[in-house]
Amino acid sequence: MSTERTLPHVALSAHAHNRLGLRRTDDDWLAARTADPSTRVLLVAGNRLRPVDGTVAWVSPEEAPDGLPVLLGEIDGTVHLAVVVAPEQAPGDPEEWVPLRAVLGLLDDDDLARAPLLMHAIGLAEWHHATRFCPRCGGTLESRAAGHELRCSACGRAQFPRTDPAVIMAITHGEGDEEAILLGRNASWPPGRWSTLAGFCEPGETLEDAVRREVDEEVGVRVGEVRYFGSQPWPLPASLMLGFTGRAVSTDIDVDGAEIEEARWWTRAEFEAAAESGEIVVPRTVSISSSLIQSWFGRPLEGPGWG
């Protein structure tokens, strides 16, 4: 795909950081970096961040409160850490702390260079929040490897962060001006919001079959050819979004009525008119869903329903 690097979701992965995995158990090195005023620290309250002046604040180690230290890695020679604290211990007004999804819409080009660090930090914070006891014996867990391992104090079993694979897909049918994309509305979304379909991969299932199953279950459309598009970390709470395109072999829609409230086919002309008028709102431009839609549409779309 010649335009791959310009697609919206690529902005979140174009600046992958050096995760410094071999340093996670080097206590002397970690102590030195924690004392280094050039090190940058992200404060996470539970699983939330606090924007300051419209951006994400990184502070010096001296300014960071006590909490769970997490080594994130290095960008351009600067080491980045996170400190995770309980929400009730977070400084400032609790209303100032917002989910990652709300922060992503604030990021400018400079912030996007450190966006993978935010994904890394929130993913680990979510994991620590959800993994409180040993799943084997129920014992207490102790953080190791700079926040990347939990070890049971009773049986010694180690736990590591998990990532759940989820498929997200742009399903199309037709050719030329009549080619249409399948979008759906979740029953819990605000009026007018539409997106590509998505769902989790089940045990023993290929990703391609997960695409076909999810589309069939949610809207009753059968899918034939499936092709890989790209991926995006999505720690909300612990997903890796795996994007696909697919070609429908049936077009009749029968929504499940549970997760999906409404679905329909949109030609490019119909989609453009609805987005420009504000009739529909599609995902924010940093999401892989936005990239899937934009890749199908052929160019960025201007209008109140885009981004």
Provide the residue-wise pLDDT of the chain in tens; the chain has 307 residues.
Answer: 334 446 778 777 777 899 999 999 999 999 999 999 999 999 999 999 999 888 888 999 999 999 999 999 999 999 999 999 999 999 989 999 999 988 887 877 777 788 899 999 999 999 999 999 999 999 999 999 999 999 999 999 999 999 999 999 999 999 999 999 999 999 889 999 999 999 999 999 999 999 999 999 999 999 999 999 999 999 988 999 999 999 999 999 999 888 899 999 999 999 999 988 889 998 866 789 999 999 999 987 666 656 5
The CATH class given to the 164-297 domain equals alpha beta
| Residue 172 token pair | 């199309």
Strands (E) across 115-155 are located at 141-144, 149-152
- The CA–CA distances, whole Å, from 245 to 137, 168, 186, 226, 229 equal 43, 9, 20, 6, 6
The domain ranges of the chain are 4-130, 164-297
What are the distances in angstroms from CA 12 to CA 15, 104, 233, 256? 7, 9, 9, 32
The Cα 257–Cα 240 span in angstroms is 26
Q: What is the pLDDT of residue 306?
A: 60
Asked if 279 contacts 270 with a C-beta cutoff of 8 angstroms, the reply is: no
In 37-153, beta strands by DSSP E: 40-45, 51-52, 55-56, 58-59, 68-75, 78-85, 141-144, 149-152
What kind and span of H or E run contains 263? Answer: strand 260-267
Topology classification of domain 4-130: Nucleoside Triphosphate Pyrophosphohydrolase (3.90.79)
Alpha carbon 241 to its chain centroid, in Å, reads 7
